[in-house]
Structures are given as C-alpha cells and as structure tokens.
Amino acid sequence: MWTLLFLIGFLSQTFADEIDDSQEEMECFSLQEDRCPNANITFWMYTNGHPRGFEISQNNIPRHEFEPQKRLKVLIHGFNGNRDFTPNAQLRSKFTDLDINVISVEYKKLAREPCYSEAVDNAKIVGKCLAALLWELLENELVRNEDLHLIGFGLGAHVAGFTGSEVPYKKLEHITALDPAKPLFLGLDAARKLDPTDANFVDVLHTDVLMHGLLDPQGHVDFYINMGLTQPNCGPISKMETHLCYHNRSADYYAESISTAEGFIGFFCPNFKSFATGDCKPTNNIELMGYYVRSEARGRYFLGTNKVPPYAMGLNYENLDRQVKGRTFLNDELMETIFKKKSS
C-alpha cells in the first residue's frame, strides 16, 4: 500500500503543481519503433578544445576528436531535462577541464512533462541507441572499455542500465547512478531497470528515497547520503521543490567528490534498521563515495554531510542524524512501516 501512496503522491503533486492552464499543451508519445539512429535522440560531444560541444551520431563519428584515446564520460539527463541540465550542469565542465571527453545524451522530447509514463517507455529505446553509438566507438577502438563511464541521473540512471544490457558481446565497465528514478520502476524485475548486471561495476548515490529515488540498493555499492531521506538547505519538507532539490543534490555531491580534499566516506551497515536504531556503528569497513570510488566496493554505506558547501565531512561521524521521524511529509507510523519492511 505504501508504495502505491508514494507513486500517486509523486505523480499528482509533480504534475499538478507545475503545469498551469497558460502553458502550451505538449503531446505525449511513446516511440513505436526502436530503430536507431532516431531523430528524437541526439548525442553531443564536449572536449577541452570544444567546450560548447558539437553533435555526433552513430553514422557520423569524427575519428580525429577521439585521437589520441582519452577517458570518456557519458552524461544522461533525467525526466524533464536536457543535455544542459543535471547531471551535465554540475559535471561536464569539471571533466573537460581535466581533459576528459564527454558525450551528453539529449532526449528531451521523449521525457518532457507531463509525459512520465511515456518517458519510461522511451527510456529503453534511448538506451538502445546510446548502446549502438558506444559500440561503434568500442569496435573502432576510439575508446577503451576501461575508459568508458556512464553517469545517469534519475530516469537517466535506468537509461544507463538499458544501455549496458544492449551493448553486444561486451559488458560495460562502469555505470554511476545518481538517485535512480523510482516512479514506475518500483517493484520491477532487474531486467526492466538498472541493476548490477548492467556493468562490471555499478555505484549508486541515494538522496531522495521517499519521493523521486529508489530506496532499495541498485548497484554493487550503494551510498545513502543523510540516509537518502533529506538534504540540507533544500526547503520545507512539504514542498515538491524541496524533493527536487534532494534529487538534484546527488549530482552536486558527485561533482564535489571530484576535487574535495575531505572526501565523502561512508561506513558499512547491512540495512536501514541497523543504521536508524544505532545498532550499526562506524567501523574500519568504509568506502569513498563518488568519483574515486573503488570498483571493488560492495554493500550499503551511510554518511552525513555538512549543512552548506563544501558538503564532504571525511571521517567525521560525530553528528550523524539517524532519526526517521519528523523528517518528511509522511507520518511517523508510515515511516516505521517502511523501514520495518526494508530492514533486511
């Protein structure tokens, strides 16, 4: 029952609050054919020498831009986003400044408000077309698999998963999921959403597990920042904009992880209940979250943040907030039910 309540609340609040009568009506559609290339899906390359980007395609790959071989980050926006929105806004320039090539996926016509259910349908085809492009790069030795890293936000995290399952004859090396989307993915089997089999290593950041993001672990290693419940200085817990802030904060944390001296360091807990009750204490079983995460990391890790940037706290666990009551719009009884169910 609680899962249905979350889904209904998400859909009704998000769409009703943000669409008014004066807005031009948008046509919602699911792609009927899964052929690639697709006019609704484009790919934009950004390099240290081309910070404003240029379009590439499966059939038009400028070899010289990939020579010599460099690391390649693929950034995938979420619902109602585009190639300049999260996670691109937070990450793209940081990567190009490090002389790392970036491909930003653009599929905004397939994932715009209020067309969420259609966006979920279309995500599979976006993943297929991205896989076709990446396979061309891999087959032509323009990028090495070990240098290829997909970073997807929200709905884009599942696009990354679908991409991994579509690349032929090879498993992608690395996928990072930034608060992977929950609505219409909750309860689905692994083949219909992001899961650890989609790449050799999948790491996940959770920042809004009660509204936009999934609570259950989705990767080889899952980091729950501030328990994944609330993030600091985002606004009143009753406002939808506050949860959008929680959701987007996953990309902010990842961006900070690239250059922080303190580091986002989580400690292992087997489940939510052990963390919330205080049974799980900080030990030497710790992992660094974000850009420098170890590919051997496994399990669930919990960490807090500072209230203002810089957010990283290193190994400081003195003031961890383990309270679940009174932190969200949900009543305490429902919160207890949720975490009882997720105690395993």
The reported pLDDT for the residue numbered 153 is 98
Task: Answer whether residue 34 is part of any domain.
Answer: yes
Contact 73/98 with Cβ under 8 angstroms?
A: no
User: Where are the extended beta strands (E) located within the chain?
Assistant: 42-46, 54-56, 72-76, 101-106, 148-153, 174-178, 201-206, 221-225, 264-268, 286-289, 299-303
Please compute the mean of the pLDDT values over residues 223-239 and round it to a whole number. 94
The answer to whether residue 23 scores a pLDDT higher than 50 is no
Task: Answer whether residue 242 is part of any domain.
Answer: yes
Task: Answer whether residue 22 is part of any domain.
Answer: no
55/96 Cα distance (integer angstroms): 16
The answer to whether residue 240 scores a pLDDT higher than 60 is yes
Of 2-16, 75-89, 133-147, the poorest mean pLDDT is in: 2-16
The reported pLDDT for the residue numbered 79 is 98
Which residues are 288's β-sheet partners? 265
The reported pLDDT for the residue numbered 332 is 62
Task: Answer whether residue 24 is part of any domain.
Answer: no
Task: Answer whether residue 23 is part of any domain.
Answer: no
The reported pLDDT for the residue numbered 14 is 42
The answer to whether residue 229 scores a pLDDT higher than 70 is yes
Task: Answer whether residue 293 is part of any domain.
Answer: yes
For residue range 101-135, list pLDDT tens digits in order. 999 999 999 999 999 999 999 999 999 999 999 99
Domain containing residue 327: CATH number: 3.40.50.1820
Q: Percent of the chain beyond pLDDT 90?
A: 79
Task: Give residue for tokens 């979250």.
Answer: 289
Query: Six-digit token pair at 227?
Result: 């328990």
The mean pLDDT of the chain is: 90
The answer to whether residue 52 scores a pLDDT higher than 60 is yes
Domain holding 193, by residue range, is 2-17+29-341
How many residues are there in the chain? 344
Task: Answer whether residue 62 is part of any domain.
Answer: yes
The reported pLDDT for the residue numbered 18 is 36
Please compute the mean of the pLDDT values over residues 54-78 and round it to a whole number. 96
Which distant-in-sequence residues (6+ apart) come within 8 Å of 255 by Cβ?
87, 90, 91, 94
Whole-model pTM? 0.91
206/216 Cα distance (integer angstroms): 9
For residue range 284-319, list pLDDT tens digits in order. 999 999 999 999 999 999 999 999 999 999 999 988
For residue range 169-200, list pLDDT tens digits in order. 899 999 999 999 999 999 999 999 999 999 99
Please compute the mean of the pLDDT values over residues 32-36 and round it to a whole number. 93
Tally of domains within the chain: 1
| DSSP per-residue string spanning 164-202 | HHHSTTS--SEEEEES-B-TTTTT--GGGS--GGGSSEE
Of 260-264, 308-312, 330-334, the poorest mean pLDDT is in: 330-334
Task: Answer whether residue 114 is part of any domain.
Answer: yes
* Residue 327 banded pLDDT, cuts 50, 70, 90: confident
The answer to whether residue 139 scores a pLDDT higher than 50 is yes
The answer to whether residue 13 scores a pLDDT higher than 50 is no
